[in-house]
Amino acid sequence: SIARDGTAGASTATSALIAGGSDIENNRLNLVEAFDTSFVRTTLDPLNAARYDLGGVSLNGKAIFAGGRVDGSVESSYGRTVDVYDESLTHTIAEDLSLGVRNVGATALPGYAIINGIYAYGANENLVVDAYSSSLTLSQPDPLNYVANSRLAFTSFGNYAFVRGEVYANVYTVE
């Protein structure tokens, strides 16, 4: 493995995965590594696009990696790609995020992954939240109630997901 920054982590039912990032020379990486319970490292099929500042979330035995900076710092360089690895570590691509985003945060609820990132400083597009069901169907729940300009904090417990920005918090739930 190489030293890298801006990676994301998620797990399948059988392995912990680390994906993407950038190397010491700031080159974007599409590298994905899996670690089993004996800490044996395996290099997997690469991400669909090399990127850093992507988000990772685990959902029903699948590792999901979404968004991230593909190149540079302008909105057109933010990724929409969603890479998925199942428990057999097979790589597939889910439907794209609704917007290309960086500094991606994510959490999981029973049956759903909630994902958001930064589109542009001060932009209303930052309010958009994407949700993927267990079958990887994309939907948009209620938007955030405050435009965030930095990385959001995501966490969940039970049927509740909390998204915390600079000023406000949002709560999402499944029945």
Question: Under DSSP, is residue 99 helix (H, G, I), strand (E, B) or coil?
Answer: coil
> How far is the CA of 47 from the CAs of 3, 22, 66, 82, in angstroms?
17, 13, 10, 9
| Calpha distance 76→5 (Å, rounded) | 21
> How far is the CA of 119 from the CAs of 69, 102, 112, in angstroms?
10, 7, 22
Provide the CB-side half-sphere exposure for 37 (13 A, CA): 3
The pTM score is 0.90
Provide the CB-side half-sphere exposure for 138 (13 A, CA): 17
| Calpha distance 23→78 (Å, rounded) | 18
Structure confidence at residue 117 (pLDDT): 81
Band the pLDDT of 96: cuts 50, 70, 90. Answer: very high
Which residues contact residue 150 at a Cβ distance below 8 angstroms, ignoring those fewer than 6 apart? 103, 118, 165, 166
Q: Is the dihedral of CA 26, 30, 31, 33 positive or negative?
A: positive
Question: Under DSSP, is residue 56 helix (H, G, I), strand (E, B) or coil?
Answer: strand
Kind of pairing, strands 91-94 and 82-85?
A: antiparallel
Structure confidence at residue 32 (pLDDT): 98
Q: Which contiguous run of DSSP H or E holds residue 17?
A: strand 16-19
Question: Under DSSP, is residue 156 helix (H, G, I), strand (E, B) or coil?
Answer: strand
Specify the DSSP class assigned to residue 95. P
pLDDT digits (tens, 9 = 90+) for 117-157: 877 655 666 678 899 999 999 999 887 766 655 667 788 88
Band the pLDDT of 164: cuts 50, 70, 90. Answer: confident
